[in-house]
A and B are shown apart, each in its own frame.
Chain A
Amino acid sequence: MSAFSISREACPTIKNILLLDSEGKRVAVKYFCDDWPTNAAKLAFEKSIFTKTQKTNARTEAEIAMLESNIVVYKFVQDLHFFVTGGDEENELILATVLQGFYDAVALLLRNNVDQREALENLDLILLCLDEIVDGGIVLETDGSIIAGKVATHTMDDGSPLAEQTISQALATAREHLTRSLLR
């Protein structure tokens, strides 16, 4: 992984994605690099990032800060704090796009009830969502509705009626049905 972050010629690399609550505690986090090898180091990073950004107003637009020669973009919604971290040479706008994709997907999956309780109750969806955005530091997808679509197709069989699905979910399902029939 370190080979990626060294040269600017490499793919844009995400170092971590964090979802913390209003006290800085983890809801769901995912690290993609070895900059913070131990859990203690990770917690220390989360603590410093949380205290540094706590007082800022990142509710309407995503905000940005430098921390330990990393760039962190973040956005707060209700009692949830979304963070995306990249190296200090990274294109800030790519990080912001990933953040926006993450937030949009979560909002869709939680049916716009973006708060800590809802997030914990649907933690499986959040974790799948993290898994669909970035793979080992490389951006997989940035469009929130597509990410949510990918996550939601799996939960469909849980019996949630079609009416409750968002349009994008329905679209994703339809698309999948179509491709499946084409492949036959």
Chain B
Amino acid sequence: MAQPLVKKDDDRDDEMDYSPFMGIEKGAVLQEARVFNDPQLDPRRCSQVITKLLYLLNQGETFTKIEATEVFFAVTKLFQSKDVGLRRMVYLMIKELSPSADEVIIVTSSLMKDMNSRTDMYRANAIRVLCRITDGTLLTQIERYLKQAIVDKNPVVASAALVSGIHLLQTNPEIVKRWSNEVQEAVQSRAALVQFHALGLLHQIRQNDRLAVSKLVTSLTRGTVRSPLAQCLLIRYTSQVIRESGMNNQTGERPFYDYLEGCLRHKAEMVIFEAARAITELSGVTSRELNPAITVLQLFLSSSKPVLRFAAVRTLNKVAMTHPTAVTNCNIDMESLISDQNRSIATLAITTLLKTGNESSVDRLMKQITNFMSDIADEFKIVVVEAIRSLCLKFPLKYRSLMNFLSNILREEGGFDYKKAIVDSIVILIRDIPDAKESGLLHLCEFIEDCEFTYLSTQILHFLGNEGPKTSDPSKYIRYIYNRVILENATVRAAAVSTLAKFGAMVDSLKPRIFILLKRCLFDNDDEVRDRATLYLNTLGGDGSVVETEGEVKEFLFGSFDVPLSNMETSLKNYIQDPSEESFDINSVPKEVKSQPLAEKKAPGKKPTGLGAPPSAPASAADAYEKLLLSIPEFATFGKLFKSSAPVELTEAETEYAVNVVKHIFDNHVVLQYNCTNTIPEQLLENVIVVVDASDAEEFAEIASKPLRSLPYDSPGQIFVAFEKPGGVPAVGKFSNVLRFIVKEVDPSTGEAEEDGVEDEYQLEDLEVVAADYMLKVGVSNFKNAWESMGSDFERLEEYGLGPRDSLTEAVNAVISLLGMQPCEGTEVVATNSRSHTCLLSGVFIGNVKVLVRLSFGIDAQKEVAMKLVVRSEDESVCVAIHEIVASG
């Protein structure tokens, strides 16, 4: 044991003696850099100092602005030296320092001289350095030289110019695009890498021109492309062309497939693999097309090179997701990879096998995996567990061995995520495979007997409460559950109490015994546990009081809490802030899950990328809106926000000013929130207001307007206009809008605005407040129950002819969006080719009136759609209003 230790010390001593950078210190090196200023330059010494500076930078040391400038100026002096090695280090140093624009000027002339040097190395490197540090203005000066360099006889020079071109294309596309003739010539170069770089650049220049790319691919796939790297590029471009032309070539052979297939016989593995992967990723690939690719990948599986095995197994794994049968042939090779030294390969092999395996091989596979599981990391184990879960769902008959496997690994050591993956898998299997329920539940029970994760214990207890009472012998789970009450922490104890109550509610025979257990919990030292025990004893009638109806008890215990918690929280806070006589009504809580709060503020700022990019409209951001509106004193008295609409665009995409509007509905008011974005960098807008003409909206009266003081470029701002309207009535109307502002010129380089502005206005599109704005989308979990409990007191039935429609789906969607209600139970989806459809909708109308609608559609051969609309609600006038909406829509 002692010997290696001593040896290590020796090593360290050696390092002390020999590492040239031992004890190196920035200040000292910067001092040393003064040698750059010596009149008699010592190239060797200067190189050493540059190496030290580069070492410091490489270790993550940073230079201050002043230090960097000093070093840069000192380094520029070194252009005087004719030493080739030193020059090379100078190039490197300049690139690392990335000088600022005014510094670049200092070296430009030196670098331009080098660009025209007779030494190829100077030319190549000077091009790379200059292109790295230059900006657009300088580029036009050196453009001529760069064009020459692209067709230079020396491949290194040509490559340097081409690669620089690829980088410059990002910043100065219009200049680089002028080089395409030279680049085209370079594609024909004999030098392998020049061809690769030229091809890369040419494609990027032309990538938006489909036809040109297609022509390029057509000509090159016939010719000879020399370097493997260029061949890989060509394969990528080819698959792009295939993807885009696929639409036009529905029939017959896939174009260029022969080329891809030919590449499978290339001598470079890189190319073979690229082609094989391209084939597997073809959209709608047939098994005949797939086979040659699978065959070469199969050969790679038994390669001695780990990289090759990894690449092959990773690709096959992906193929197995879509074409499991195509990969089956590789199963034997794959099985030998389970014991692969490289654990990534082994895991990929296993998961592939699990996807492709057939029923008979499952048992053998599980045996192999068991040995493998003990020596891989948790992250791999999770992948395996997930693969086993899907396998089990595929072969439900094999649940026994798979469930056993899961329960075995559940007992072994592992972190939270791993254990959670296993528990989730077991839960899913129990849900989907009825036969697996009893054994699965027992495995879970055993797990919570010795589970260190509170979260998992409570989840399992909850699940047990729902599933346990439905089994043939519920009593056997009670012991496990009550053990939790005795042994665990308060959170788990509380969960266990709830679970006991569920057993009590569902299984009458167990009730007396459950009562005894619950009564014991009344003496628990934790409030929550005691409270729960008391509550459940009460609801279940264990304390001799009047028992509520069985249905209510079950609804209470098992009913899902379908209100998002964050919405609940906001509503409760509002309730506390504004206390009223009425008790809090949980039904008034909006049930839409808000996806991206405040996204509406960002959305207008984002300029649509590409044609027809839809503005990202947030589904609901009620909370964020509510906070925003409450923060404005003028609107604070409006009361509770009923609904905020999705943003409605009032301008075309890519106009000077982008404006969208959100309609906020209150009981007696409507607030219009105009989100404005100024997309002109040269302008600053001030005193921005929206002039709203409400003459087509008789019931609305403008009462307040909140203008925007200033609207600088690309930072969105909001303008609010508030209207009063009759309370509780779904008033509708049309508003025309004009944006009025003072525009000031801005100097883009300084960002300063001119003193004087000009008044101007900008016409926006009209906006309508429609009936759907008064409807909240609130779903119900059980439409039938809700429908029946609502009763037919105010039911109203009408029939409508919707005229000719493209399809039933279109008609259904039109009515849903007209009413603005929440479709229930997935009834918004119309089965293809069906002639009739029933759609169930629910919502809350302004004034907190629940509304349920049953729509029956029928379509005839002439595509005439007829609709029967039945509406039920707690308020007759609302029922009438709904029909009015449809009749007028």
Residue B21 interfacial (CB < 8 Å):
yes
Q: In the complex the two chains form, is B170's CB within 8 Å of A11's CB?
A: no
Q: In the complex the two chains form, is B55's CB within 8 Å of A42's CB?
A: no
Contact of A61 with B60 at beta-carbon distance under 8 Å, contacts A9-B236, A11-B200, A158-B85 already known: no
A124: B residues at CB distance < 8 A:
47, 50-51, 54, 89
Residue A167 interfacial (CB < 8 Å):
no
- Could you say which of A9, A138, A140 contacts B207, with CB atoms under 8 Å apart? A9
Q: In the complex the two chains form, is B229's CB within 8 Å of A128's CB?
A: no
Contact of A63 with B54 at beta-carbon distance under 8 Å, contacts A9-B237, A12-B229 already known: no
Q: In the complex the two chains form, is B306's CB within 8 Å of A62's CB?
A: yes
Report Cα–Cα, A116/B19, bound state, in Å.
9
Q: Shortest CB–CB separation between residue A184 and chain B, in angstroms?
A: 8
Interface code A115-145, partner B: CB below 8 Å = 1, 0 otherwise?
A: 0110011011001100100011011111000
Residue B725 interfacial (CB < 8 Å):
no
Residue B286 interfacial (CB < 8 Å):
no
Q: Shortest CB–CB separation between residue A57 and chain B, in angstroms?
A: 7
Q: Shortest CB–CB separation between residue A33 and chain B, in angstroms?
A: 13
Residue B476 interfacial (CB < 8 Å):
no
Q: Shortest CB–CB separation between residue B733 and chain A, in angstroms?
A: 46
B85: A residues at CB distance < 8 A:
154-158
Q: In the complex the two chains form, is B304's CB within 8 Å of A140's CB?
A: no
Contact of A131 with B92 at beta-carbon distance under 8 Å, contacts A64-B307, A66-B344 already known: yes
Contact of A179 with B120 at beta-carbon distance under 8 Å, contacts A91-B277, A140-B163 already known: yes
User: Which one of B151-159, B482-490, B651-659 contacts A?
Assistant: B151-159
Residue A97 interfacial (CB < 8 Å):
yes
Contact of A63 with B18 at beta-carbon distance under 8 Å, contacts A9-B237, A135-B163 already known: no
Q: In the complex the two chains form, is B232's CB within 8 Å of A61's CB?
A: no
Query: In this complex, what residue of B is CB-closest to A38?
Result: B60
Q: In the complex the two chains form, is A91's CB within 8 Å of B232's CB?
A: yes
Residue A26 interfacial (CB < 8 Å):
yes
Residue A171 interfacial (CB < 8 Å):
no
A97: B residues at CB distance < 8 A:
228, 270
Residue B14 interfacial (CB < 8 Å):
yes
- Could you say which of B197, B237, B305 contacts A61, with CB atoms under 8 Å apart? B305
Interface code A67-105, partner B: CB below 8 Å = 1, 0 otherwise?
A: 000000100000000000000000111111100000000
- Could you say which of A9, A64, A94, A150 contacts B310, with CB atoms under 8 Å apart? A64
Q: In the complex the two chains form, is B19's CB within 8 Å of A117's CB?
A: yes
Report Cα–Cα, A80/B92, bound state, in Å.
23
Residue A183 interfacial (CB < 8 Å):
yes
Q: In the complex the two chains form, is B92's CB within 8 Å of A120's CB?
A: no
Report Cα–Cα, A101/B735, bound state, in Å.
69
A183: B residues at CB distance < 8 A:
118, 153
Q: In the complex the two chains form, is A94's CB within 8 Å of B229's CB?
A: yes
Residue B88 interfacial (CB < 8 Å):
yes
Contact of A26 with B58 at beta-carbon distance under 8 Å, contacts A93-B270, A128-B88 already known: yes
Q: In the complex the two chains form, is A92's CB within 8 Å of B310's CB?
A: yes
B207: A residues at CB distance < 8 A:
9
B59: A residues at CB distance < 8 A:
26
Q: In the complex the two chains form, is A136's CB within 8 Å of B311's CB?
A: no
Residue B737 interfacial (CB < 8 Å):
no
Interface code A15-48, partner B: CB below 8 Å = 1, 0 otherwise?
A: 0000000000010110000000001001100000
A182: B residues at CB distance < 8 A:
153
Contact of A92 with B273 at beta-carbon distance under 8 Å, contacts A56-B342, A156-B84, A157-B83 already known: yes
Report Cα–Cα, A26/B59, bound state, in Å.
7
Residue B560 interfacial (CB < 8 Å):
no
A92: B residues at CB distance < 8 A:
273, 307-308, 310-311, 314
Residue B722 interfacial (CB < 8 Å):
no
Which of A11, A95, A131, A184 has its CB near the most chain B CB atoms (within 10 A)?
A11
A65: B residues at CB distance < 8 A:
342, 344
Interface code B63-101, partner A: CB below 8 Å = 1, 0 otherwise?
A: 000000000000000000001110111001001000000
Q: Shortest CB–CB separation between residue B751 and chain A, in angstroms?
A: 26
User: In chain A, residues 134-181, which have Cβ atoms closer than 8 Å to a Cβ of chain B?
Assistant: 135-136, 138-142, 150, 153-158, 176, 179-180
Residue A3 interfacial (CB < 8 Å):
yes
A111: B residues at CB distance < 8 A:
none
Report Cα–Cα, A91/B273, bound state, in Å.
8
A121: B residues at CB distance < 8 A:
18, 20
Q: In the complex the two chains form, is B306's CB within 8 Å of A140's CB?
A: no
Q: Shortest CB–CB separation between residue B19 and chain A, in angstroms?
A: 5
User: In chain B, residues 182-230, which have Cβ atoms closer than 8 Å to a Cβ of chain A?
Assistant: 193, 196-197, 200, 203-204, 207, 228-229
- Could you say which of B159, B193, B307 contacts A93, with CB atoms under 8 Å apart? B307
B159: A residues at CB distance < 8 A:
140-141
Residue B240 interfacial (CB < 8 Å):
yes
Q: In the complex the two chains form, is A63's CB within 8 Å of B163's CB?
A: no
Report Cα–Cα, A184/B156, bound state, in Å.
18
B203: A residues at CB distance < 8 A:
9
Q: In the complex the two chains form, is A64's CB within 8 Å of B342's CB?
A: yes
Q: Shortest CB–CB separation between residue A121 and chain B, in angstroms?
A: 6
Query: In this complex, what residue of B is CB-closest to A121?
Result: B20
Residue B360 interfacial (CB < 8 Å):
no
Query: In this complex, what residue of B is CB-closest to A60?
Result: B304
Q: In the complex the two chains form, is B229's CB within 8 Å of A139's CB?
A: yes
Query: In this complex, what residue of A is CB-closest to B93?
Result: A127
Interface code B18-37, partner A: CB below 8 Å = 1, 0 otherwise?
A: 11110000000000000000
Q: In the complex the two chains form, is B21's CB within 8 Å of A120's CB?
A: yes
Report Cα–Cα, A66/B44, bound state, in Å.
42
Q: Shortest CB–CB separation between residue B570 and chain A, in angstroms?
A: 36
Which of B18, B51, B159 has its CB near the most chain A CB atoms (within 10 A)?
B51
Q: Shortest CB–CB separation between residue B68 and chain A, in angstroms?
A: 16
Q: Shortest CB–CB separation between residue B116 and chain A, in angstroms?
A: 12
Q: In the complex the two chains form, is B58's CB within 8 Å of A62's CB?
A: no
Residue B338 interfacial (CB < 8 Å):
no
Q: Shortest CB–CB separation between residue B596 and chain A, in angstroms?
A: 22
Q: Shortest CB–CB separation between residue B61 and chain A, in angstroms?
A: 9
Residue B269 interfacial (CB < 8 Å):
yes
Q: Shortest CB–CB separation between residue B352 and chain A, in angstroms?
A: 15
Report Cα–Cα, A73/B305, bound state, in Å.
12
Q: Shortest CB–CB separation between residue B384 and chain A, in angstroms?
A: 15
Q: In the complex the two chains form, is A93's CB within 8 Å of B120's CB?
A: no
Report Cα–Cα, A73/B306, bound state, in Å.
10
Query: In this complex, what residue of A is CB-closest to B377?
Result: A52
Q: In the complex the two chains form, is A179's CB within 8 Å of B233's CB?
A: no
- Could you say which of A11, A12, A39, A139 contacts B60, with CB atoms under 8 Å apart? A39
Q: Shortest CB–CB separation between residue A116 and chain B, in angstroms?
A: 8
Residue B121 interfacial (CB < 8 Å):
yes
7 inter-chain pairs at a CB distance below 8 angstroms, sorted by A residue, are: A12-B229, A12-B232, A63-B306, A93-B311, A123-B20, A155-B85, A180-B120
Listed in ascending order, the chain B residues whose CB lies under 8 Å from chain A are: 14-15, 18-21, 44, 47, 50-51, 54-55, 58-60, 62, 83-85, 87-89, 92, 95, 118-121, 128, 132, 153-154, 156, 159-160, 163-164, 166-167, 170, 193, 196-197, 200, 203-204, 207, 228-229, 232-233, 236-237, 240, 269-270, 273-274, 277, 304-308, 310-311, 314, 341-342, 344
18 further contact pairs, Cβ within 8 A, besides A92-B311, A139-B229: A11-B200, A11-B233, A12-B233, A28-B58, A56-B341, A62-B305, A62-B306, A65-B344, A91-B277, A92-B308, A94-B232, A120-B19, A124-B54, A124-B89, A127-B54, A135-B128, A154-B84, A155-B85
Top 3 closest A-B pairs, CB basis? A39-B60, A92-B311, A93-B270
